Every structure is written in C-alpha cells, then in structure tokens.
Structure 1
Amino acid sequence: MIRVEIQILLMRRRTWVSVLMLATLPVIVALFLKVSGVGSGAGSPAFLTEVIHNGTWLPIAALALVLPLFLPVAVLLLAGEAIAGEAAAGTLRYLLIRPVGRGRLLAAKLVGIIVYLVIAVTAVTTTAFAVGWGLFGLAPIKPLSGAGPPLSLSEAAIRIALSALFVAASMLGIAGVGLFLSVVTSTPLAATLGALGVLVTAGVLDQLPAAAAIQPYLPTHYWMGFIDLFREPVSWVNIRRGLALEGCYGAAMVILARIVFGTRDITS
C-alpha cells in the first residue's frame, strides 16, 4: 500500500508542479537581487542581505522564504486531500473493501506526505545552491554569531542539509492537522481550509505579545530554529524543542485521525 501511494504521488502532475513552484521562488528572488544589486532591508527574510555577497547563503534564504507560507500550503493541500479526496471521488470504500486496514491506509498517506516533504525541500535547496553558485559564486560563510572561523563549503553544505531536514520535520504538526481534518470531512477543500485556519491562527498568535505564554506551544513557533545551525557554537535548544513539539503534534493528530477513522461509516 505504501509503495502504491508513493507511485501515485510521483506520477501526479500536480506534485511536480507544486515542487517546481516552490523551487522557482528563490530563483526569482535571486534574479532580482542580482539585477538590483541591493540586499534585503529591515524585516526582510533572513540571510538575503548576505546572498549578494556569497551565493552559499541562497539555499538558507530559500528555506526561510518558502517556510512561513508556501511550503505549509503545499503540504496542507496534499494532507487535506489524503482521505477526503478518496471519499469525494468515491474510491475510499473500494480501497477498504480490499484487505487494506484503515490504519495501514492512514500510514500510507502519511508516508506519502513525508516523501513529498523530502522531495520539496531537496528541490528548493539544490536549486538555490545551483543558482547561488551561478549568480553570486560560492565561498565559506561566516557564522551569524561567535568568534569561530568561517564554515567551509563542505561544513556549510552539511548544515544546509540538516536545515532542510529540520524544515521538513517542522511540517509534521500542521500536516497532522490536515490529515485529521481530512478524516473528519469528506470534502478536501474543507479539510485544507480548516488546516489553513489553524496555520494562520498559530502564526498570528506567535507574533502577538499578549499570547507570549502559549507561544512556545504553537506549531509555528520553532520553524526558524534552523538558523541556530549557523551560529558558532551551534545552539541546539530551539532545534530540539521544535522537533519534539512537531513530533508531539504530528503523533497526536495521527492518533486522533486513526480513532475517528476507525468509527467512520464509509458506506454512506
């Protein structure tokens, strides 16, 4: 079942269209930076100021660009359709008539989402790396803080890869919400919009001083924690907290989805 789900994911045109759109965004930004020769200003996405001086920063900036909105939306479109899409198309009951348990079907859908995440962040970072090399050149990068020596290209590449994995893992919580809502409703659009509502609400609360007490528990709070990989020494506190929080959200949502799915009448 998992192999079939991955094959379906890889054969869908919209999978590659969404990946292409994600990978194109940092390319467009890099071209504007190259033409204008002006870096980012106050409040702009992280690392863009450094990109015009060193293309090694572009993959890092690319992750910061797609993370707040574009990558979560792409993931939620996939998660919201996972079960609700099958129900809307009338294929859910036929899937479960075969010897495929509901838990196994949910697991296959979750694995498909994880595979998509890996493909998406890999496409974004590798494309940005190639474009940064072509437009700005590559050089060792100076840590954001600390008095350590510049990171060599190999060291920077390892930390960029770890950043991409962290960004992918950071989507597990919101993907779990989308998967849960996909089980609750039979309409993919409703599941996606509901999960987007959770995403927007968490993002707003994360910026609201009055909500400071709950911010460490919001699924979006540690999304930019990968920045700490480029400090010297590396600060692992936010990274560990972010991974633990996303793991808890993802696990809780999948368990709830399995409980609801187990009681759902798919024959009506």
Structure 2
Amino acid sequence: MILVELEKLARRPRTWVSVGLLCLLPAAVAVLLATTRVGTAAGEGPAFLSAVLANGSLFPAAALAIVLPLFLPVAVAVVGGDSVAGEASVGMLRYLVARPVGRTRLLVAKLVALTAFVVAAVVAVVVSGYLVGVLLLPTGPGGDVVTSVSGPALSGGQVALRICAATGYIALSMLGVGTIALFLSTVTDSALGATLGAIAALVASQLFVALDAASAIRPYLPTRYWLAWIDFFREPILWRDIERGLGIQAVYVAVFLGLAWANFATKDVTT
C-alpha cells in the first residue's frame, strides 16, 4: 500500500510542478542578486545577505527563507488536503477502504507519501539553491569562511552541517502543516476545502503571532517558531526556540494525526 501511494505521488504532474516552482523562485532571486549585486559593498545590507553574496554555498539557507513563509506551506497543504478527500471526490475511496489492508494502513500509507513529498520538496530547494548559488554567486577570496548571523565566522563544514539541520527542522515544521491538512481531508470530501482550511489555519496563526493581544496563546501556535531555524546560523547556536519549535510541531503532528485516524476509522464512506 505504501509503495502504491508513493507511486501515485510520483506519477502526478502536480507533484513535479509544485517542486519545480519551489525551486524556480529562489533561482529567480539568485539571478537578480547576481546581476544587481545589492548589498555587496562593506556596510551595505544585512550581514547575512552580504555573506550569501560572497559565498554561493550559503544560498540554500536563503532559498529556504524565500519559500518558507508562503509557497512551501501551500504546496504541502495541497498534497495533504488531497490525500483522502481527493480519493473521495473521484469515487475511489470506497473501493480503497474495502480492501483487506484496512483504513489504518491506508492512512499510514497516505502519511508516508505526504512525508516523502515534504522531505523531497525541502531537499530539492536546498540542493537547487546550492547549485544556483555556486554557479551565480561564486566563492571569492576567503569564501571558505562565512559570517554568522551573530557575527563570528563559520567554516564551510559548519555551514553545511547547519544547513542540514535547518532542512530537517523545516521539514518537521511542514509535516505539522501536512497533518492538519490530512485531518481536514478526512473530514470533507472536497480536496480544495481541506486545502483551504489548512491554509486558513496557517494564515490565522500568522495573524495571531503578530498580534499583541494574542500573546497568551502565541507560544502554542503552529507558525510561532517557523523562523527559529535561523538560530542554527548563529554562533553559538541558540537552542531555546529551536527546541520549543520541535516540541510544538511534534505535538501538532501527534494530535492531528490522531484526530485523522479517529475520524477516518469511523467515517461512513459512501463515495
């Protein structure tokens, strides 16, 4: 069942279009940075931007920052929202749940396929960002040393390890989005409705994060610690928000996956 779901995911043009667009946007930004060279002079622009322009191997971090606020969550919400509701909308869900594998195994297969998409999308952004960065933003003299967000220098090996850590952190954050969409996909037979519901939840979370009156609930919102991955590029690494972000996302994944299972296991499938 898992292999079937992975094969279905790989065969859908939407999967490759989504990943391609996620990679295309940072590439377009890299082209603009390479041609305009904004912020390259000493004292111009943020230190991290200057470091990216001086060393293309750091551009994967910039690529993640570009797609994270909107484009990556939307792509994940589309896949998660279509997981179960998409089968129902075309009349295939009834035949799938009638198989001997059962509903739990079907939901697990959907989760594995969703996780595979999340990991593939984030890794594709990182790899394409690295390739575009080293091609368009070549390493200059002393480029093996990169300025961290907090000032001290990082070696090329440290940067590589921290990009990998940031990749894993963002993947887990997006899996939280995916499980919200997956739960809504078990509630409705409309893939679009499930997707829009997940996006609406994220927009509301972003709004409350920026609202002072919501300070009491802010630490528990799903998007509160999305940008904590930037702390991997400080020296030393600030772990407080990273740990809180991992904990919050783990809770959201567990809760909404449990809700999805509870609802789908008892769902009256008629289509």
**TM-score computed with the length of structure 1 as normaliser:** 0.93
**Matched ranges for 1:138-157 at <5 A:** 138=139, 139=143, 140-145=145-150, 147=152, 150-157=153-160
Q: CA shift at 1:235, angstroms?
A: 1.4
Matched, 1:28 2:33: no
What is the identity, as a one-letter code, of the residue corresponding to 1:171?
M
Tell me if the contact between 1:46 and 1:61 (Cα under 8 Å) persists in the aligned partners.
Answer: no
The aligned counterpart of 2:102 is 101
Aligned equivalents of 2:154, 2:52: Cα separation in 1: 15
Aligned equivalents of 2:175, 2:137: Cα separation in 1: 33
Higher alpha-carbon deviation: 213-222 or 138-147: 138-147
Q: CA shift at 1:49, angstroms?
A: 4.5
Q: CA shift at 1:56, angstroms?
A: 2.6
Q: Secondary structure at the match of 2:147?
A: coil
Aligned equivalents of 2:147, 2:46: Cα separation in 1: 18
Tell me if the contact between 2:107 and 2:261 (Cα under 8 Å) persists in the aligned partners.
Answer: yes
Q: From the superposition, tell whether residues 261 and 45 of structure 1 become closer, same or farther in structure 2 (CA, over 3 Å).
A: farther
The aligned counterpart of 1:217 is 220
Aligned equivalents of 1:85, 1:129: Cα separation in 2: 34
Q: CA shift at 1:174, angstroms?
A: 1.7
Q: CA shift at 1:156, angstroms?
A: 0.9
Alignment counterpart, residue 236 of structure 2, candidates 214, 233, 237 = 233
Q: Deviations over 1:132-188 (max 9, x none)?
A: 1111123221222264xx222222111101111111101122211101110000010
Q: Deviations over 1:61-105 (max 9, x none)?
A: 111111110000000000000000000011101111111211111
Aligned equivalents of 2:75, 2:196: Cα separation in 1: 12
Aligned equivalents of 1:207, 1:61: Cα separation in 2: 23
The aligned counterpart of 1:91 is 92
Q: CA shift at 1:46, angstroms?
A: 9.7
Matched, 1:12 2:7: no
Matched, 1:199 2:193: no
Aligned equivalents of 1:5, 1:258: Cα separation in 2: 17
Q: CA shift at 1:45, angstroms?
A: 10
Q: From the superposition, tell whether residues 263 and 217 of structure 1 become closer, same or farther in structure 2 (CA, over 3 Å).
A: same
What is the identity, as a one-letter code, of the residue corresponding to 1:237?
R
Q: CA shift at 1:39, angstroms?
A: 3.8
What is the identity, as a one-letter code, of the residue corresponding to 2:122?
V
Aligned equivalents of 2:39, 2:257: Cα separation in 1: 42
* Root mean square deviation, CA, Å: 1.8
- Give unpaired runs (5+ residues) of structure 1: none
Tell me if the contact between 2:183 and 2:259 (Cα under 8 Å) persists in the aligned partners.
Answer: yes
**Matched ranges for 1:130-209 at <5 A:** 130-138=131-139, 139=143, 140-145=145-150, 147=152, 150-209=153-212
Q: Deviations over 1:16-45 (max 9, x none)?
A: 1110100111100011111111149xxx99
What is the identity, as a one-letter code, of the residue corresponding to 1:74?
A
Q: From the superposition, tell whether residues 15 and 47 of structure 1 become closer, same or farther in structure 2 (CA, over 3 Å).
A: farther
The aligned counterpart of 1:81 is 82
Tell me if the contact between 2:51 and 2:146 (Cα under 8 Å) persists in the aligned partners.
Answer: no
Q: Secondary structure at the match of 1:171?
A: helix
Tell me if the contact between 2:73 and 2:177 (Cα under 8 Å) persists in the aligned partners.
Answer: yes
**TM-score computed with the length of structure 2 as normaliser:** 0.92
For these two proteins, the number of residue pairs brought into alignment is: 263
Aligned equivalents of 2:63, 2:162: Cα separation in 1: 14
Tell me if the contact between 1:22 and 1:66 (Cα under 8 Å) persists in the aligned partners.
Answer: yes
Q: Deviations over 1:185-208 (max 9, x none)?
A: 001011111111101000111111
What is the identity, as a one-letter code, of the residue corresponding to 1:3?
L
Q: Secondary structure at the match of 1:144?
A: coil
Tell me if the contact between 1:45 and 1:64 (Cα under 8 Å) persists in the aligned partners.
Answer: no
Aligned equivalents of 1:69, 1:90: Cα separation in 2: 31
Tell me if the contact between 2:48 and 2:148 (Cα under 8 Å) persists in the aligned partners.
Answer: no
- Give unpaired runs (5+ residues) of structure 2: none
What is the identity, as a one-letter code, of the residue corresponding to 1:151?
L
Aligned equivalents of 2:128, 2:165: Cα separation in 1: 16
